[in-house]
Amino acid sequence: MSERFVVVGGDAAGMSAAAKARREDPEREVVVLERGEWVSYGACGIPYYVRGRIPDVDDLVVTEPEKLVGKYGIDLRRHHEAVAVDPADRTVTVDAADGRYDLEYADLLLATGGSGADLDVPGEDLDGVFTIRSLEEGRALREYLQPGESHHPGAELPLGGEFQDHLHGAVERVAVVGANKIGLELVAAFDARGLDVHLVDDGEHVFESGPLTLPSFGAAAAGVVEEHLRERGVTLHLDAPVERFAGEDGRVTAIESARGRVPADAVLVDEGVQPNVELAADAGIDLGPTGAVAVDDYGRTSADGVYAAGDCAEKHHLVLDRPVHLPLGLAANRGGRAVGTTVTGTPTRQGPVVGTVTMKVFDLEVASSGVLNPEEARSAGFDPVVETVSTISRAHYYPGWSRITVEMVADRETGRLLGAGLVGKEGCAHRVNAVATALHAGMTVGEVADLDLGYSPPFGPGWDPLLTAAKALSGDLD
């Protein structure tokens, strides 16, 4: 049997595993199968590319393919799609331009990622209806907004057929379906391009999480963000489930929702991330309760010698103490790196997650870590107590301060910190890392209130906003 380590998927988890395996064991053969063109790229930068702040899609590539091949010695096979896995024979069936072949493996990593979730309503196949999870999709959306803008010499446009025929039509109004992270970041991107932007969501408020969306940023953050969106001229259509997409001549022209019709020249759907598990499921590999591939602490699946990491695999949530599906970049990189170490002889845990998420909505920073949804906390056996405080981002006498709202949750019986969310114009994205650290340490809110956090007038008041929230919440528990 070959000692070959085969990786299916060339993005965060896959390339982290491949590079780590080669560093740990330079003699180990490592093959990466990637069905598309791009590998090792920063998908989180796509909204800024669509906006035009990042001029070229290739700027989002983290590590050039030439470096992966030359420096690391990885056998990188782009435009090679794994279509079947046989765990009994330890082979992967691969489709390539020159035909189909079987590839033996000693160890296999499934890093097949995730796809934008479908709404399963009529009209989703109309031109102008997009999801965004890959660079190909990002380029297609930017090209649709401004034909020719995403093209550069030597690049092949990821568009064809009748789609090209529609590119002469001007895009003036864009609708975003789903008030989630990517969707809200693209709201700002569309606004920066001078478009009339509409946000359509089935929840009564933004950030109301569904089964495929990221953790909630909290009710307090939702209120601040909604007000800010309206101030920036975005039209909100809340509590408006989409019933169908309407179109003419194959191109989308409107969204029809339970609250009425929203005309649109283009639509971005962000209803969450669906794990790409078809390859695993067809091979008889177990899926977990979230629908993603079930793995143990080391990323091992139910099939001997087969691992999974990244957006296709479950992670263990430290606070909830159960498997979750969290399609986040750091967890993918960390999980792939751990598998790369494990397969070369040093078993390494992937590590738990606490769901730390940061984002920017126009000039607002929004961040959260842990569990903010009381219902979700109760489902894990906690009795949640919620406290919300509004304070200032800098010392009151230092110019330029603004408001920060902190929502913090703890368990009534034990005082354990369960999560916190922050929203404001500054000082939120990095403060949340202290929350994540406290969650990993299992600290109580009383212990958080006693933390010796840094202080300087340009960066915060004497009592840091996190300390203020923890003190208030600790008082609620007394």
Gap between the Cα atoms of 370 and 354, Å rounded? 5
Q: Which of 328, 369, 371, 367 is nearest to 350 (CA)?
A: 328
Query: What are the φ and ψ backbone dihedral angles of 253, each rounded to 5 degrees?
Result: -125, -15
How crowded is the C-beta side of 407, counted as CA atoms within 13 Å? 23
Contacts of 250 (CB under 8 A, 6+ apart): 126, 127, 162, 166
Task: Please give, one letter per residue, the 3-state secondary structure of 119-146.
Answer: CCCCCCCCECEECCCCHHHHHHHHHHHC
User: Whats the size of the chain, residue-wise?
Assistant: 478
β-strands 235-237, 196-200 pairing: parallel
State how far the Cα of 185 lies from the Cα of 86, in Å rounded to an integer. Answer: 40
Q: Please tell me whether residue 353 adopts helix, strand or coil conformation.
A: strand
- Is residue 369 helix, strand or coil? strand
Q: Concatenated DSSP letters for 220-257? A: HHHHHHHHHHHHTTPEEE-S--EEEEEEETTEEEEEEE
User: CA–CA separation, 326 vs 286, rounded Å?
Assistant: 18
Residues labelled catalytic? 44
- DSSP assignment of 252-316 equals EEEEEETTEEEE-SEEEE-S-EEE--HHHHHTTPPB-TTSSBP--TT-B-SSTTEEE-GGGB-EE
Instruction: Return d(Cα 361, Cα 225) in angstroms, integer.
Output: 7
Helix 12-24 to helix 329-342 angle (10° resolution) is: 30
3-class SS shares of the chain: helix, strand, coil, % to 5: 25, 30, 45
How far, in Å, CA of 408 to CA of 422, rounded? Answer: 9
Cα separation of 289 and 48, whole Å?
34
Q: b/e for 343-378, b at 16 or more Cβ within 10 A?
A: bbeeebebbbbbbbbbbbbbebbbbbbbbbbbebbe
Q: Dump the DSSP string for 382-428.
A: --EEEEEEEEESS-TTSTT--EEEEEEEEETTT-BEEEEEEEESSSS
CA 391 to chain centre: 29
Residue 426 — φ and ψ, nearest 5°?
Answer: -160, 160
